[in-house]
Structure 1
Amino acid sequence: MPEYQLTWKDKRIIWGTAIDIEPLVGKYPNDSIRQGVNTALDWNLPGGIYRAKEVVLELDKLLEAMLVQLGEPANGDPKVLLDSLQANLAISGRTSSLPLGPLALEDKAGVELTAQAVRISEQLVSWAREINSQKRALAQYGPETLGELEFRSHCYGHTLTPAAIQQAFGPSGGPRVMQLYNEYLHQFVLLRDALLPFANWEQVPFEVQEHTEFKGLRFLEPARKTFLTRLLGKDLTHKSIVQYAQHVVSSGLTAAGYGFQYRLGTVLPAGLGESARTAARYLLKWHPVQTIQTEDAEDLAAVSFDYEYGDYYAAPRNEAGTGILGNENILPVSEDHYDEPSIARLLPNAGSDRTTLRISLNMEDREFTVDLGQLFRGQRFLYRPQENNNANATVVRRTPISLHQAANILSHPGLVTNADGIHFIPTGGNELVLWALLGKLYPENVVLLDIGDEEELESAHAVGKGFGTKFLVL
């Protein structure tokens, strides 16, 4: 297999071996509707590799069985039931299963996951409507088989819309139909919540192992409960998001770093291959790549990727020096324009007890490497000029701004800081250089600029911790 390449604009990041998971997805040894332990027909997700849409296809069988048992079209209206699903997956309203909207989460992780919940819910409902309109299950099984589907679904308090209540408990409804609908709703809720960590959630393959004691995605319930407790309690960290993602894809990993490899690919923070200015800081992204090499992808071991410096506060630090002094009101003039590097590589270091990744790039006839985990940590901790969240910073005495070359900063071992002052590092618009700097600078008072004009500089003086040295990166 060829090397995996992540491309954006004119830049590329290359690493590992690309893997093809398409032959594995959607190949199941059993049918989801099969004979139960008694005479009734039962439903369960068969063991295998799924992506989100494959699960929605299997869940539609429950809805179609409901409609048959309600007597479609006179009593079973799919629009009413699908509208209730939409209301259940919404982030606000009486029927919401995850009421993030009223919480008004303001922490960065909460804001990202709230927007993510909206995106996923809308697409899942759109797929559910599309697939149900095709009546695949009815064509595959016929009304007699769907009419026999019956099982016990333990209630989890999902609230229905009044119209859905009228259908499910109306003259043609009752407990049997309600059990099907409860399972339908609950599986969609589990699916939506399972996908929350992943920016490219539609593409993520995950393994479902069939269990006799619970159905479908219910194996995720313990991890989901822990994850949502931290999210709703506004105590969500990047590490806890990674831990949850590892459970979702059945990686088998318990320890968590900033990313991981499992047998269906590699999961890293979503910022890789995106602009550091706009990229998500807490979401993850799945890549179809075998990062740590093995001879056979089927035998691919799960690996957690660790930071080079587990505690960045205790990491070795080196001072950037004075640089070229300017004044405090304008950024020093720089002639640096980095047409290179256009390619970076990820270099794994798999030791006996931990695995780290470094990103390597060539600039000015030199090779620079930076710990990949520290790079993402730097992006999570950076400040933006419009984030005026520290009024005390505005009263800090300004000092002349020193100009530094990116190559000089990257040449230092450990993390780079300074005793005091304001320090400006231009990147010449090169995103690879920018990302590398975020992994090299001590992540305390780093401000990422957009244009560097007088107004933005004024705003940049007002953000940060209000003490210590400050680095401005453009």
Structure 2
Amino acid sequence: MQEYQLTLEDKQILWGKPIDIESLIGKEPNDSIRRGANEALDWNLPAGIYRAKDIVMELDKMLEAMLVQLGEPVNDDPTVLLDSLQANLAISGRVSSLPLGPLALEDKAGIELTAQATRIGEQLVSWAREINSDKRTLAQYGPETLGKIEFRSHCYGHPLIPEAIAQVWGPYGGPRIMQIYNEYLHQFVLLRDALLPFSNWEEVPFEVKEYTDFKGLRFLEPVREVFLTQLLGKKLTHKSIVQYAQGVVSSGLSKAGYGFQYRLGSVLPAVLGESARTAPLYLLKWHPVQTIAADDTQDVTAVSFDYEYDDYYAAPRIEAGEGTPVKEDAFSLPEENDDEPSIARLLPSSGTDRTTLRFSLEMNDRECSVDLGQLFRGHRFLYRPKKNGDASGALVKRNTSSVHLAADILSRSGMVTDSDGIHFIATGGNELVLWALLGKLYPENVVLLDTGDREELEAAYISGKGFGTQFLLL
């Protein structure tokens, strides 16, 4: 069976069965413009599988209808309406729908999602401008049809920039235009917010079912409200981000682990397949793969991926051992002589009520595997050397320093820790080995180095909690 392949430079992670997602996109049998109950033409997303840009293309039909109905004075120019959309999707300003900028979120999850909201909002507006410039909607339907679109937008309303207010409520506008424009803005806000958890948000496919009592993406409003309450209240956790992502893609799952599988793929923390030094800590990434493969005659089962130990504090622990002693004034480390693994595999284990995944690789003719969930947890808890830190009074004296081979650490059972000392582990620059170690080491006072030079080591010694044993990964 062909395996899904995730590549980082010359390293690969293999698992599951690839999904041909392209064959499912854009197969909606119905039109988003159709006749409503009052004989006016209505707009609603047809049931189907969409990506973000597909939704923007459907939303352009509302924008083009507004331009037609505003008439000649607008001169077919969407600039004002799109400028107001851009202001609405910005993270600051009077009309911002998600004012994360003024909140100055300083928690790691908040920082990542603030940057994510900016990126997504800017790209959505860019697509909206590009798609409308082609005038495909006008060519497809003609001004007569677009001039008949009318519906009620059930929303309190989004604020507009002054130029948009003058245009929408001016002599050629009115309540009919405002209703369409309000729905247009609201659908973009729902789309932007739905994509916040995903690092590769442009690629994520999600299923839309057509409802008669609300339009388009409004089915997302309940899960969005819970998520934004946690985000704005600065109480966001990795689990709550996963829970929200499950709702966005209509997985049907109620409980949340660290990732999940749904009909259209698998969603895991974004660090997998990225450098541990630069990967986001809280964002997720969609992969077109059945991690838990179904028979050809069965639909893909929605599955939540669980940690081997829900509470890592209660997991079995084992001491790292003595290793090779290092002199206190020695700042060069012996090179790692272990074989360089180039392939790792994700191995699922499904029980009656839970599914776990193991990250497995081969070193020195030995198979080494760790719980994938613990690997991600270890990455979130990872420390980096403090830069420009004040070392006065912060350095806790540790009695010993030693070097360990990565293969020796990974071959041990349970989670590796120690009672004292500084423990160096060289990875040889191998990301697969680094990730495996993050799943094996007890996630406390683990520091990731870049060069291991004297300056970085001195910064590393005062990083972390400042007490207890310390593991330095190089």
With the shorter chain as reference, the TM-score category is over 0.9
Partner of 1:196: 196
Query: Would you say the 8 A contact 2:342–2:432 is kept in 1?
Result: yes
Partner of 1:454: 454
Query: Would you say the 8 A contact 1:445–1:471 is kept in 2?
Result: yes
Query: How far apart in 2 are the matches of 1:165 and 1:59?
Result: 20
Is the counterpart of residue 275 in structure 1 residue 270 in structure 2? no
Partner of 1:122: 122
Query: Would you say the 8 A contact 2:70–2:173 is kept in 1?
Result: yes
Query: Would you say the 8 A contact 2:80–2:163 is kept in 1?
Result: yes
Comparing 398-407 with 42-51, greater Cα deviation is found at 398-407
Partner of 1:362: 362
Q: Specify whether residues 234 and 110 from structure 1 end up closer, same or farther in structure 2 by C-alpha distance, changes over 3 A only.
A: same
* AA aligned opposite 1:85: L
Deviation at 1:467, TM superposition (A): 1.8
Q: Specify whether residues 392 and 65 from structure 1 end up closer, same or farther in structure 2 by C-alpha distance, changes over 3 A only.
A: farther
Deviation at 1:420, TM superposition (A): 1.2
Deviation at 1:395, TM superposition (A): 3.5
* Per-residue Cα deviation, 1:4-27 (whole angstroms, up to 9, x for no partner): 100110000000111101111111
Query: How far apart in 2 are the matches of 1:345 and 1:364?
Result: 16
* AA aligned opposite 2:364: E
Deviation at 1:74, TM superposition (A): 3.5
Is the counterpart of residue 441 in structure 1 residue 431 in structure 2? no
Query: How far apart in 1 are the matches of 2:309 and 2:209?
Result: 36
Query: How far apart in 1 are the matches of 2:108 and 2:333?
Result: 33
SS of corresponding position for 2:79: helix
Partner of 2:334: 334
Q: Specify whether residues 18 and 455 from structure 1 end up closer, same or farther in structure 2 by C-alpha distance, changes over 3 A only.
A: same
SS of corresponding position for 1:373: helix
Query: How far apart in 2 are the matches of 1:108 and 1:388?
Result: 20
Q: How does 1:338-357 map to 2 (within 5 A)?
A: 338=338, 340-357=340-357
* AA aligned opposite 1:319: E
Q: How does 1:80-91 map to 2 (within 5 A)?
A: 80-91=80-91
Q: How does 1:18-417 map to 2 (within 5 A)?
A: 18-72=18-72, 74=74, 77-296=77-296, 299-331=299-331, 333-338=333-338, 340-386=340-386, 394-417=394-417
Query: How far apart in 1 are the matches of 2:390 and 2:354?
Result: 38
- Where do 5+ consecutive residues of structure 2 fail to align? none
Query: How far apart in 1 are the matches of 2:391 and 2:225?
Result: 37
Query: Would you say the 8 A contact 1:16–1:290 is kept in 2?
Result: yes
Deviation at 1:451, TM superposition (A): 0.5
Q: What TM-score does the superposition give when structure 2 sets the normalisation length?
A: 0.97
SS of corresponding position for 1:412: coil
- Where do 5+ consecutive residues of structure 1 fail to align? none
Query: Would you say the 8 A contact 2:398–2:469 is kept in 1?
Result: no
* Count of paired positions: 474
Q: Specify whether residues 387 and 191 from structure 1 end up closer, same or farther in structure 2 by C-alpha distance, changes over 3 A only.
A: farther
Query: Would you say the 8 A contact 1:266–1:291 is kept in 2?
Result: yes
Deviation at 1:75, TM superposition (A): 5.8
RMSD of equivalent CA atoms: 1.6
Query: How far apart in 2 are the matches of 1:392 and 1:370?
Result: 38
Query: Would you say the 8 A contact 1:82–1:129 is kept in 2?
Result: yes
* Per-residue Cα deviation, 1:302-334 (whole angstroms, up to 9, x for no partner): 000000111000011001012222133444531
* AA aligned opposite 2:360: S
Query: How far apart in 1 are the matches of 2:387 and 2:40?
Result: 59
Deviation at 1:468, TM superposition (A): 1.2
SS of corresponding position for 2:16: strand
Deviation at 1:406, TM superposition (A): 0.6
Query: How far apart in 1 are the matches of 2:26 and 2:140?
Result: 16
Query: Would you say the 8 A contact 2:400–2:420 is kept in 1?
Result: no
Query: How far apart in 1 are the matches of 2:287 and 2:40?
Result: 42
Query: Would you say the 8 A contact 2:24–2:49 is kept in 1?
Result: yes
Query: Would you say the 8 A contact 1:10–1:342 is kept in 2?
Result: yes
* AA aligned opposite 1:450: D
Q: Specify whether residues 331 and 322 from structure 1 end up closer, same or farther in structure 2 by C-alpha distance, changes over 3 A only.
A: farther
Query: How far apart in 1 are the matches of 2:261 and 2:52?
Result: 20
Query: How far apart in 2 are the matches of 1:460 and 1:274?
Result: 23
Q: Specify whether residues 339 and 122 from structure 1 end up closer, same or farther in structure 2 by C-alpha distance, changes over 3 A only.
A: farther
Query: How far apart in 1 are the matches of 2:466 and 2:75?
Result: 65
Q: Specify whether residues 298 and 78 from structure 1 end up closer, same or farther in structure 2 by C-alpha distance, changes over 3 A only.
A: farther
Deviation at 1:436, TM superposition (A): 0.2
Deviation at 1:295, TM superposition (A): 1.3
* Per-residue Cα deviation, 1:254-280 (whole angstroms, up to 9, x for no partner): 000000000101100000001111111
Q: Specify whether residues 148 and 273 from structure 1 end up closer, same or farther in structure 2 by C-alpha distance, changes over 3 A only.
A: same
* AA aligned opposite 1:152: R
Query: Would you say the 8 A contact 2:368–2:410 is kept in 1?
Result: yes
Query: Would you say the 8 A contact 2:338–2:405 is kept in 1?
Result: no
Deviation at 1:391, TM superposition (A): 7.2
What percent identity do the matched residue pairs reach?
76
